[in-house]
Amino acid sequence: MVLPFYFCLLSRTPTAVAPTNPIAPITPKFAGSDRPRQRGGRQPVVAGHLKTIGDNQPFNNRPVILPKAPDILRIIPLGGLGEIGKNMMVYEYNNDIIVVDCGIMFPGAEMLGVDFVIPDIKYLTDNKERLRGIILTHGHEDHVGGLPYIWPKLGVNMYASDLTAGLIKVKMKEFAIENPPLKIIKEGEKLQLGEFKLEFFRVNHSIPDGLGLAIETPDGQLFIHTGDFKFDHTPVNEGQMDLGQLALYGKRGVTCLMSDSTNAEVEGYTISEQVVGETFDRIFKNARGRIVVTSFASLINRIQQIFNSAVKYHRKVAVSGRSMENNITTAVELGFLKLPEGTLVELNKIGRLPDNEVVIICTGSQGEEFSALVRMAAGEHRQIKIRRGDTVVISASPIPGNEKSIYDTIDNLFREGAQVIYGKQVDIHVSGHASQEELKTMLGLIKPKYFLPIHGEYRHLVRHGRLAESVGIESDKALITENGSVAEFDKNGNGKLTNYHVPSGYILVDGLGIGDVGNIVLRDRQAMAQEGIFVVILTVDKKKGTILTSPDIISRGFIYMRQREDLVYQSRQEVKRIFDHLNRQYPANWDYIKKTLREEIGNFL
């Protein structure tokens, strides 16, 4: 009988497991005294114990059910606190649960090979029979992007405004989810879900048709969830926020306000979206060649202003990038994008038009690999080649972590001879989030007893809490917390942060699937990226205890084998020497032999 052994060694601080199944993935592992000696100051991969990344404690597979709390409202953030993105908030009262938003988050630089991150919904799946619905505040990815992955596990009705629902349908269709149970809700509408009474109010943001919600419990207490917002007094394609309605909530009495904290560090007021339209007008007026504009595909108001300037300066508009095409089609069909007939042309037709009559709207504002702008900049787009005389406008701010990709793209555009307008050179991008004075205005209108800042890094939440204190909120009633925490409010309006904690880690999505990548795999990827991998394959006759063939060695990212044949030869000889020595002393003790071989070869390298 022939028994194959696989030894995976990670560079100079190697660790490995030799699986009994040679096809199974090889995963580094440490256990107490088995830890190899350190060399060169480098640390080995350390295996984590959590099923998802970021939890404060392991939950394994046991059900997560909180103790019953009659007539208590619980607020449980599963995403969006202490981070930018993957917004998801749980509201629970007696036997009823509602969820607000279901977003994704872009991965950090340390999350190698990860496409994006979604919330851990173990608490919801373990309490699925109590879930009454998912409310979506607006159509941005950090609020709805997780639905194709999460909704099939929950299967409940979703509630969204016209545009938000339209964008969700397109997204779900891409995942072969036809006719999802989407219910349309509108500004001013009231909705009963279990014991919750909900009322929706308009918010201004960088996408139209956004909604905030007022949540009323059976004991008459009111809780306000703003969603993303800013006070825009000259909004594009929609009316202003109803400040009078917000003031009425405040007059009635609000137990707790949950408010957007993204711009809590930004002084003053956020600029109106219409300022970007004025900038587009100036750019379009002065450009002599083609104009290429990239932005987030979900910034419908921004896209409307691109069309407005194109029409004003007699240019036709073509679109490149699937998400941009889908969102524009949906917004036009629902009446949220208005453009004269004949303005939009197919991309393959623009070659017949003079350069000064062409505008191209495309994806790629974050330097995403394979996006339309990145392919244009690299000369790899099938239909569009950037050339001297083109003006490229990047109408977006970099998401942290994307800067290098964006600047590499800008460099390539300059190399092709384009004029590139980006950054803070002119007002080509404004935030969709309220700055400090607007946040104080919201607090002043709502006048909450308690305040729980949401949607932001931890420093944003802290800064927002201090803003609340500056306008009269008592310091012990500004509740600064993070994902997985549980806040409780009793029927007398008294609130507190409890010691309960539910799973709230990261579920990582990559090409392999959902949740297949965890702490160990991520750390392996980081180690391989930094140090490389060294694999020894040893084939042994199990009965005789002899090596059948010379050890096979595979190296990736550690040494170039053709240039270091001496090291490869020495490694093979060392493997055979160590194996023969161990097999004489401990015959057939394969686990010990494997472990010792890993350690000794690691030290040799």
Distance CA 560, CA 394 (A): 41
Whether residue 260 lies in the annotated active site: yes
**Choice among 72-76, 326-330, 580-584 with the minimum mean pLDDT:** 580-584
In angstroms, rounded to a whole number, what is the distance separating the alpha carbons of residues 102 and 584? 60
CATH value at residue 197: 3.60.15.10
What average pLDDT does this structure show over 33-46? 29
In a domain, 221, yes or no: yes
Residue 57 maps to a domain: no
pLDDT at 260: 97
pLDDT over threshold 60, residue 240: yes
pLDDT of 505: 86
Instruction: Answer left, alpha or beta for residue 369, where phi above 0 means left and psi between -120 and 50 means alpha.
Output: beta
- The single residue of 101, 120, 260, 524 carrying the catalytic annotation is 260
- Of 184, 181, 217, nearest to 198 by C-alpha is 217
d(CA 378, CA 367): 11
**How many percent of the chain have pLDDT more than 90?**
66
Per-residue pLDDT at 531: 60
Its domain, for residue 545, covers 2-48+519-604
pLDDT band at 564, cuts 50/70/90? low
Q: For 579, phi and psi rounded to 5 degrees?
A: -60, -50
* Catalytic residue of the set 120, 209, 390, 433: 433
The domain tally of the chain equals 3
Domain boundary among 372, 394, 421: 421
Tell me what pLDDT residue 37 has: 31
**What pLDDT is stored for residue 578 in this prediction?**
81
Shared domain check, 259 and 213: yes
**Residue 140, marked binder:** yes
Region 135-139 average pLDDT: 98
3-state secondary structure of 330: helix
The whole-angstrom separation of Cα 328 and Cα 362 is 11
Residue 294: inside a domain, yes or no? yes
Of the candidates 59, 60, 34, 58, the one whose C-alpha atom is nearest the C-alpha of residue 46 is 34
- Give the bridge partners for 358, in sequence order: 316
| Locus of tokens 């014991």 | 195
Strand order from edge to edge, sheet including 196-203: 190-193, 196-203, 210-216, 222-225, 254-260, 448-454
- Asked whether residue 241 falls in the same domain as residue 386, the answer is no
% pLDDT > 70, the chain: 83
Is residue 54 very low, low, confident or very high in pLDDT (cuts 50, 70, 90)? Answer: very low
Q: Which of 252-266, 294-308, 487-501, 564-578 has the lowest mean pLDDT?
A: 564-578
Question: What six digits make up the tokens of 24?
Answer: 């199974």
Average pLDDT over residues 109-124: 80
- Mark whether 226 and 152 lie in a shared domain: yes
- The answer to whether residue 534 scores a pLDDT higher than 90 is no
pLDDT bracket for residue 529 (50, 70, 90): low
To the question of whether residue 113 is assigned a binding role by annotation, the answer is: yes
Instruction: Give yes or no: residues 95 and 210 share one domain.
Output: yes
Q: Is the pLDDT of residue 536 over 90?
A: no
343 and 392 part of one domain: yes
pLDDT reading at 332 higher than 80: yes
Query: How far is Cα 351 from Cα 503, in angstroms, rounded to an integer?
Result: 54
Q: What is the DSSP string of 184-212?
A: E--TT-EEEETTEEEEEEEEB-SSSSEEE
Of 171-175, 418-422, 594-598, where does mean pLDDT reach its minimum? 594-598
Is 429 flagged in the annotation as binding? Answer: yes
Do 81 and 38 belong together in one domain?
no
Q: Which domain CATH number covers 411? A: 3.40.50.10710
Assess contact for 215 and 196: CB atoms under 8 A.
Answer: yes
Q: Which of 468, 489, 510 is the last residue of a domain?
A: 510
Q: How many CB atoms lie within 10 A of CB 565?
A: 10
Evaluate whether residue 53 is within a structural domain. Answer: no
200 and 294 in one domain?
no
For residue 121, give the amino acid letter.
I
Please indicate, yes or no, whether residues 250 and 362 belong to a single structural domain of this protein. Answer: no
In this model, does residue 38 exceed pLDDT 50? no
Residue 339 above 50 pLDDT? yes
Query: So what's the pLDDT on residue 576?
Result: 79
Is 510 annotated in a binding site? The answer is: yes
To the question of whether residue 143 is assigned a binding role by annotation, the answer is yes
Q: Is 96 annotated as a binding residue?
A: no
**Is 392 annotated as contributing to ligand binding?**
no
Please indicate, yes or no, if residue 68 is contained in any of the structural domains.
no
Do 330 and 304 share a domain, yes or no? yes
**The pLDDT of residue 434 is above 50:** yes
Closest CA to 375 of 364, 366, 365, 360: 364
DSSP-derived 3-state class of residue 162: helix
Read off the pLDDT of residues 171-209 as tens digits, 9 standing for 90 and up. Answer: 999 899 999 999 999 999 999 999 999 999 999 999 999
Do 603 and 596 meet the contact criterion of CB atoms below 8 Å apart? no
Q: Which residues does 171 contact at the CB level (< 8 Å), separation at least 6?
A: 144, 145, 147, 148
| Token pair for 68 | 């019953």
Q: Is residue 60 in some structural domain?
A: no
- pLDDT, tens digit (0-9, with 9 covering 90-100), for 490-510: 999 999 999 999 999 888 777
Is residue 527 pLDDT above 80, yes or no? no
Give the best-scoring range by mean pLDDT among 229-238, 518-527, 579-588.
229-238
Residues 525 and 501 both lie in one domain: no
Does 236 appear as a known binding residue?
Answer: no
Q: Tell me the mean pLDDT in the region 213-222.
A: 97
User: Residue 513: its pLDDT value, please?
Assistant: 52
Q: Which amino acid is at 192?
A: Q
Active-site annotation holds for 433: yes
pLDDT computed for residue 34 by the predictor: 32
Domain end (from 492, 510, 528): 510
43 pLDDT band (50/70/90 cuts)?
Answer: very low
Same domain, yes or no, for 78 and 200? yes
For the chain, what is the mean pLDDT? 84
CA dihedral 425, 428, 433, 434 (to 10 degrees): 70
Using CA atoms, how far apart are residues 589 and 24, in angstroms rounded to an integer? Answer: 21
Name the burial class of residue 215, with classes exposed (0-12), middle (13-18) and buried (19+) by CB atoms within 10 angstroms of its CB.
buried
**Is 138 annotated for ligand binding?**
yes
Output the pLDDT for position 414: 97
Average pLDDT over residues 339-348: 93
pLDDT band at 46 (very low <50, low <70, confident <90, very high): very low
- Residue 115 is labelled as binding a ligand: yes
Q: Is 49 annotated as a binding residue?
A: no
Structure tokens given for 294: 């990239």
What predicted TM-score, i.e. pTM, was given to this entire model? 0.77
